[in-house]
Each structure stands twice: as C-alpha cells, then as structure tokens.
Amino acid sequence: MSKPTKPIKPIKLGVLISGSGTNLQAIIDRIAAGTLDATIELVVSSRPSAFGLKRAEKAGIQTLTLSKEIYADPMTADEVIATELKRHDVDYVIMAGYMRMVHAPILATFPNRVINLHPALLPSFKGAHAIQDAYDYGVKVTGVTVHVADDRYDCGPIIAQRPLAVKEGWTVDELEAHIHEIEHQLYPDTIQLLAEGRVHVHDGKVSIDPE
C-alpha cells in the first residue's frame, strides 16, 4: 500500500487478545518496519496464559490481564478496560483474536473506533468457529473481514474484505493457515487506512477516501 506524501501522526492503539497473538505480532512487525503509522499503547488479554502477552512484553508494550473475578461480570470488566484504554490515550481499540464480546463501556468510550477481525466473509459464517463452519459447508470462496464492532457478535459496518479461493483437497488446517496469512496482511493494511484518516462511518456503512 502506497503512503501519502504528507507525514502522518501515528495513531495510538489498544489491542485486545485472548490467545497466541499472531495478529498482534503482525501489527508489531509492520510498525517496526515503518509501514504502519501507529503505536501500541496497551495490550489487554482476557486470559493470563495468552502467548500474545509474551509477544507484547518482548516488544516493550504494557499489558493488562483481568482476573477471573473481574471478568465474571462482563460490564465491570469492560469498565476497567475502557478506563485503562482511555488512560493510555488510545485512538482505536483493535480486537485481535479477542474471544469476548465488547459492551457499552468500551463501545461508548470509543464510538466507531472499536475494530474487529473475522476469519470469513461476513455476513456469512459468524461466530467462533467460522473457518471450520465454512470448511464443513464446502464453500469455494471464503476470506477475511475487518469491521467496526458493535453490541452484536460479528456485526457492524464492514471496512475491508479480502477473498480466498478454497482449493480442492485442502484440509481445514491448510485453510486456516491461508486465512491467517490474509489476516496478517489485511489487518495492518486496514489500520493504516485508519491512520490516514480515510475511513468514515455514515448511517451504518463505511466509506473510504481514495488515495
């Protein structure tokens, strides 16, 4: 993706994770390479064992893990998360394999600025098992979606999608590997669009300014 000639002030990100953090790593790598105008101010994990926390710590990024007691009440948890993200002066909240729904405390604090990644072409195959569901259905084309999160699972205005043609004979693991390859490209690309101020939400739909 070509970059505008005028300097861009890096946007500040808060990244929410639950697992291995491969998309977090893709964002970290793109920032380090100078092809993503962003900084990661805080990584929040819903699981203390998430390997993504180690990725963040290796990159010198501050982390937050909430206790099971706090997470037992989703609203209380999201109030804590929203407060910490705001304290870190975050511009956008990036959900990167975050396996919990975000609620009003986060959504209201960051209106149209909570972004989610989904491993299918929404509105098809919503939910936590999208890759397996698409594979079981026998689709010939699937893909990846980046969208603005709202108070429903895998809904909200679509910012970007990238298709993947499913080859005959692929196993579900092979499909998953190809999906992840696309995620690791598309998510940083889309965050760069946010950094350039080219993404606008109007009446439940997204428009993107041309380069």
Catalytic residue among 103, 118, 180, 184: 118
CA dist., res. 37 & res. 31, Å (int): 7
Q: Within 13 Å of residue 43, how many CA atoms lie on the same side as its CB?
A: 31
DSSP classification of residue 171: -
- 81 in Cβ contact with 109 (< 8 Å): no
Q: Is residue 118 among the annotated active site residues? A: yes
What is the rounded distance in angstroms from the CA atom of residue 90 to the CA atom of residue 142?
32
| Residues forming the active site | 118
